[in-house]
Amino acid sequence: MMIETILVPIGVVGGLGLMYGFGLAVASKKFHVEIDPRVEQVMEALPGANCGACGKPGCAGYAEAVVLEDFPINKCAPGGVECIENLSKIMGKTAEIGIRNVAYIHCKSGGSNNTNLRYEYQGIETCASAVATAQGPNLCSYGCVGFNDCFVSCEFGAIIIDENNNRIIDEDKCTACGACVTACPRNLIELIPVNKVVRIDCMSHDFGAVPKQVCGAGHPCIGCAICAKKCPVDAITMVDKLAIIDHDKCINCGICATSCPTKAIEDQLAGKRKKAVIIDEKCIGCTICARKCPVGAIEGKVKELHVIDKDKCIGCEICVVKCPKDAIIMK
């Protein structure tokens, strides 16, 4: 009797186990879905950052989209050129490798010695928490709060904190994943082409004397619109008293930076910009360069050698690109 009491439950449980196991085996065969082996290959080629910059939920989502949905293979920002080349080999298709983007912080305050405060903040030391508390402690309602949410969000060590607690983007390390853009509660960070070196250093929508009074960095945009008026290609527009550069139009001439009365525009080529020079023996006098020059620095008649006024030349290189005979160089 004792043995039966033990063996019967064992037999019942064992039988159920066999039955369920058989059912699962049949189901796995019946509903088996073939996975394209290229999905795993694409996954191995990706950096595994799971940043979501591609617009898909992580690297696995991107890999499936590339293989199963014909999604573009050039959307992985952290992977860079090497990743695009590897995916191209796997998928057997090509993709344009454009100018890479980098993050840029449109504010030079937020450090320990360049931020004017309204009050001493004693709460949770994150930018998001500080901004949620009475709009943040800094006097400028648009400036960097300085608690380094962007720094914490960066998985690639591309944001450096200097000795004065200022944030600096290491463009060589930046992968344009966009994590810092999302992390900043004041939307101070933007992804821009790395070759666009003229950039606004302020996001204040205040006007006139007010931004000067509240900015700790001392270089605020005051909404004067001088830069927009001076831009030879209309690449700058005023949006609610703030100058915004359209980087698709910008030619890196730096005129806006030179004309800005508060030095609120950074020009990384200041003092290093080359001038256009015409190679005499190549010039055919087609006049294309003269017609395309945004500042009228080139003169010449049809079928005659053209001349560039170096005092007028802004080094934008438009003439170099447009010349059909490669008769213009930067020097």
Residues near 177 by beta carbon (within 8 Å), at least 6 away in sequence: 49, 51, 52, 53, 77, 78, 155, 156
Look at residue 203 and tell me if it is in a domain: yes
User: Tens digits of per-residue pLDDT, 97-129?
Assistant: 888 999 999 999 998 889 999 999 999 999 999
Average of per-residue pLDDT across 250-273: 95
Average of per-residue pLDDT across 261-271: 96
Which ranges of 99-202 would DSSP assign to H, the alpha helix?
Answer: 127-132, 149-153, 179-183
**Residues 104 and 174 occupy one common structural domain:** yes
**Helix or strand or coil: residue 88?**
helix
Look at residue 207 and tell me if it is in a domain: yes
**pLDDT band for position 1 (50/70/90)?**
low
Q: How far apart are CA 130 and CA 126, in angstroms?
A: 6
The boundaries of the domain holding residue 191 are 99-195
pLDDT for the residue numbered 10: 77
**pLDDT band for position 33 (50/70/90)?**
low
Average of per-residue pLDDT across 144-163: 94
pLDDT for the residue numbered 227: 98
Average of per-residue pLDDT across 269-273: 92
State the DSSP string of 253-279: --HHHHH-TT--EEETTTTT---EEE-
Look at residue 27 and tell me if it is in a domain: no
Residue 37 has pLDDT above 80, yes or no: yes
State the DSSP string of 171-188: TTT-----HHHHH-TT--
**pLDDT band for position 95 (50/70/90)?**
confident
Look at residue 7 and tell me if it is in a domain: no
pLDDT for the residue numbered 164: 83
Average of per-residue pLDDT across 269-279: 94
**Residues 207 and 283 occupy one common structural domain:** no
Per the model's pLDDT, the better-predicted residue between 53 and 107 turns out to be 107
Per the model's pLDDT, the better-predicted residue between 32 and 129 turns out to be 129
Task: Identify the helix (H) or strand (E) that includes residue 193.
Answer: strand 189-193
Q: How far apart are CA 41 and CA 82, in angstroms?
A: 15
Look at residue 33 and tell me if it is in a domain: no
Instruction: Write down the mean pLDDT value for the chain.
Output: 92
In the chain, how many domains are there? 4
Residue 179 has pLDDT above 70, yes or no: yes
Q: What percentage of the chain exceeds 70 in pLDDT?
A: 98
Per the model's pLDDT, the better-predicted residue between 327 and 133 turns out to be 327
Average of per-residue pLDDT across 287-293: 96
**Residues 233 and 257 occupy one common structural domain:** yes
Look at residue 147 and tell me if it is in a domain: yes
Q: What percentage of the chain exceeds 90 in pLDDT?
A: 74
**Residues 288 and 246 occupy one common structural domain:** no
Cβ pair 314, 253 in contact under 8 A = yes
**pLDDT band for position 323 (50/70/90)?**
very high
Residue 280 sits in a domain whose CATH number is 3.30.70.20
Average of per-residue pLDDT across 216-231: 96
Task: Identify the helix (H) or strand (E) that includes residue 40.
Answer: helix 37-45
pLDDT for the residue numbered 2: 66
**Residues 183 and 205 occupy one common structural domain:** no
Residue 8 has pLDDT above 90, yes or no: no
Among 142, 176, 195, the domain boundary falls at: 195
